Amino acid sequence: MTEPTRHLDLGCGGTPRNPYQRDELHGIDISLPAQPGPCEIRRANLALEPIPYADDTFDSLSAYDFFEHVPRVLPTADGRATRFPFVELMNEAWRVLKPGGLLYASTPCYPYAEAFQDPTHVNFVTAGTHEYFTQPQLKARMYGFTGTFAALRVLRYSPRGEYEPVRSGWRQDLRMWNRARRGTISHLLWEFRAVK
């Protein structure tokens, strides 16, 4: 009998998403929902705490409109140094993914105004931010990133429905080009594979 596949949704609120349709769905949020849902949701502040699961637990992981809320820099508890919560979270994502596991993240991105308007957005992502966490650049090594991801997709888009961008074709490409020209593309999609 094969082991069930598992998915973890970060910053899920009361309704975790499962973009890869795994057998088991788990979620993490800073607060627990008032009513228990159909899957396990654990409480954790991922800017301060590790992901509360063992190494190599999940086949996939998602983060919808979440990465922009994770600070890039915070002082250490004693105030004598700094730490990098977003880099630490990317380490944690890599740690809990199985070899070849998938990370699917959608986040508001520069230069879209709404990425900056929300006062809880403290981490601004650009079209090149993925280079800090993916081969061959892995630029975040200098900040303590120890994982390795391979980028499968990195694209700017405007989410509709379940946040999955329409697959490319000439009509979709023309629409995206027009939206980019008008400055109305709001999000960046990352789809990475954990290299272990």
Quote the DSSP letter at residue 122. -
SS3 148: coil
φ, ψ dihedrals at 185, nearest 5°: -80, 125
pTM recorded for the entire structure: 0.90
In the chain, what are the domains?
Answer: 6-194 (3.40.50.150)
CB 18 within 8 A of CB 25: yes
Residues 6+ apart with CB under 8 A from 73: 82, 83, 84, 85
Nearest to 164 by CA among 173, 175, 155: 155
CB 107 within 8 A of CB 124: no
Q: How would you write the pLDDT of the chain (196 residues) with one tens digit per residue?
A: 789 999 999 999 988 999 999 999 999 999 988 777 789 999 999 999 999 999 999 999 999 999 999 999 999 999 999 999 999 999 999 999 999 999 999 999 988 888 889 999 999 999 999 999 999 999 999 999 999 999 999 988 877 655 565 556 676 666 666 666 666 678 899 999 999 9
Using CA of residue 62, residue 65, residue 71, residue 77, what is the dihedral sign?
A: negative
